[in-house]
Amino acid sequence: MAAGLKIRKGDTVIVTTGKDKGKKGEVLRALPRKGLVVVQGVNVVKRHQRPAAGNPGGIQEKELPIHVSNLALVDPKSGEPTRVGWKFLDDGRKVRFARKSGEVVDT
């Protein structure tokens, strides 16, 4: 499906559509082949867990993946949603940057 994602693990994103619209969170895991990411505190569901060794069981909450088209990167300067672009720096490195402010996202 998606070859590469503009959103990566560790990025702070905001949800643009759906039941969690407006929520911000950090990307915990990226699934680039499916175009999905797991965001902390977003798309949380309850699952009934059977007791096992080292696990008491009961009802537990976990985050499910959300499609990247429903997310936007948070601009490091203003804290608003922004699109992601690519550019080459003077030293030849290819980095991601926030289109709204021009701030480099990669470190």
CATH of residue 90's domain is: 2.30.30.30
pLDDT, tens only, 39-98 = 999 999 999 999 999 889 999 999 999 999 999 999 999 999 999 999 999 999 999 999
Judge whether 23 lies within some domain: yes
Give me the pLDDT at residue 105, please: 87
Judge whether 6 lies within some domain: no
pTM of the prediction? 0.84
Asked if pLDDT for residue 2 goes beyond 70, the answer is no
Give me the pLDDT at residue 107, please: 59
Residue-range definition of the domain harbouring residue 69: 12-51+58-98
For residues 56 and 106, which has the higher predicted lDDT (pLDDT)? 56
Judge whether 78 lies within some domain: yes
For residue 1, name the pLDDT band (cuts at 50, 70, 90): very low
Q: Which residues contact 72 (CB under 8 A, 6 or more apart)?
A: 13, 14, 16, 81, 82, 83
What sign for the dihedral angle of Cα 25, 18, 29, 74? negative
Overall number of domains in the chain? 1
Judge whether 64 lies within some domain: yes
